[in-house]
Amino acid sequence: MLEIEHISKNFGDVQALNDVSFTVHDGEIMGLIGQNGAGKSTTFHSILNFLNYDGKILWNGNPITEDVFDQIGYLPEERSLMPKMTIEQQIVYLASLKGKTSKEIKPQIDAWMEKFAVKGKRSDKIKDLSKGNQQKVQLICTLIHQPSLIILDEPFSGLDPVNSDLLKKAVVEAQSNGASIIFSSHDMSNVEEVCDSLVMLRTGEVVLNGGIDDVRNHFGKTELYVTTNWSVEKLGQLEHVNQVEHQHANHYMLKLDDESAGPSIFDKLTDGHYIEEFSQRPPTLDEIFRMKVGEVHA
């Protein structure tokens, strides 16, 4: 279990982190989100002891020391592979820094390349790979030593939807093996799909912290997705409907000022007849992100 307790970090006059606290349990995937400069990478670098900071960071109740690093898999946002090495050389070298021998790692490489659908041979040089395949090799280097704590900084960068799904499967597999996983992503759909919980940073401070469903439900089920022949104008006249968005064909999204209005709107729209869709939901993480980030600019 990873425990972050009241950490703060200044770079000169800039307060990068201010009293940040959260916990990532064994077998939990947590998304760390926020706008550029919110403090996500500074948090990761503090966990990894790249920086001095105020506060406490504990792994299984103890400070993170040199002997713990072998249990950590870290994928930096910037690609950090050695272009003149072959895929095999790169994987074996980085695994050796985590205490793994060549004899342990080499037999696993083909299976990991197949798992991530890496195009090429293990004898290919890193510089000859596409950016997407380089990213996948870096992911293999992060995960092949079976870490207990996995830190992924923008892991989906450079990956198309198919390859993003391969990564998600690998992350979920690591979770099932008991790993504590924390990752940042600007794509809220990835966070919503994969994560159990999230922490949102804004200018170095925690503004949201909790389970994905708890965070969304906190904002109320104020979005109503319906299929109807009613016009935009007529829908807008319904009580407690603040906004109507025409999505496509006869599909609309109604924004409510009171989630309890759902049943009465259902009765009026259906009038006792079948309609194809009537779904009342909380805002998406993307919408919540925009709301919370927008507050600082208001």
Alpha-carbon separation of residue 218 from 18, 21, 24, 47 (angstroms): 24, 20, 21, 29
| Fold entry, domain 2-216 | Rossmann fold (3.40.50)
Tell me, what's the pLDDT at 278? Answer: 95
Q: pLDDT 10s digit of each residue in the chain, 298 long?
A: 999 999 999 999 999 999 999 999 999 999 999 998 899 999 999 999 999 999 999 999 999 988 889 999 999 988 789 999 999 999 999 999 999 999 999 999 999 999 999 998 999 999 999 888 998 999 999 999 999 999 999 888 778 888 889 989 999 999 999 999 999 988 898 899 999 999 999 999 999 999 999 999 999 999 999 999 999 999 999 999 999 999 999 999 999 999 999 999 999 999 989 999 999 999 999 999 988 887 655 4
CA trace torsion 131, 136, 138, 139 (10° rounding): 150
Report pLDDT for 65: 86
- Sheet architecture: strand order including 14-24: 14-24, 2-11, 54-59, 62-63
pLDDT of 159: 81
In which element (H, E) is residue 242 found? strand 241-248
Which residue intervals of the chain bear CATH 3.30.70?
221-281
Q: Which residue intervals of the chain bear CATH 3.40.50.300?
A: 2-216
What is the DSSP secondary-structure string of 16-31? EEEEEEEEE-TT-EEE
Q: Please give the CATH architecture assigned to the domain spanning 221-281.
A: 2-Layer Sandwich (3.30)
